[in-house]
Amino acid sequence: MSATSITMRGRAAAEALMLDAVTIARTGSSTDPDTGVVTPTQSTLYTGKAKIQQQAASASPTPVGEAEVFVAQVEVHVPITVTGIRPDDLVTVTASALDADLVGKTYRVRGVADKSFLTARRLAVIGVSG
């Protein structure tokens, strides 16, 4: 069995666990040259299956200003065929088979994993509020 065939089997298994749905969008703006009015823009890059994965929170709090918070890493996994995702793109959870509290949450992409034998496109994200 080759590394390629194992990776392909891993991709199928990873997608089988993607029970959530997300929309990934890129935001920007356009400026009217006559009036100078800036209009926000948004283009959809992907709509489809995903998995929201939170790593365990740190065992000890991290100082943030005068507060201490427990930091947890969150990843959004999408099929490996999803390409072109960049930092600052927005991921919105549109459906979740097992956790209704995920629906409506929005995350900002902070990084995209690079690796030869990826079984899913893994997006390091941070929650967006407001």
* pLDDT for res 59: 60
Please check whether residue 43 is in contact with residue 85, taking contact to mean a CB–CB distance below 8 angstroms. no
CB hemisphere CA count around 124 (13 angstroms): 8
pTM for this structure? 0.83
Where do we find the tokens 């995350």? 107
CA distance 96 to 112: 22
Distance of alpha carbon 111 from alpha carbon 11, whole angstroms: 20
- First and final C-alpha spacing in the chain: 49
- For residue 123, give the amino acid letter: L
Q: Which position has the token pair 């823009």? A: 41
pLDDT for the residue 53: 93
CB atoms within 10 A of CB 106: 16
Spans in the chain with pLDDT lower than 70: 56-60, 70-71, 130
Domains defined along the chain, listed by start = 3-128 (2.40.10.270)
pLDDT at 57: 61
Report the pLDDT value the prediction gives residue 41, as an integer from 0 to 100. Answer: 87
Handedness of CA 58, 60, 66, 67 (dihedral sign): positive
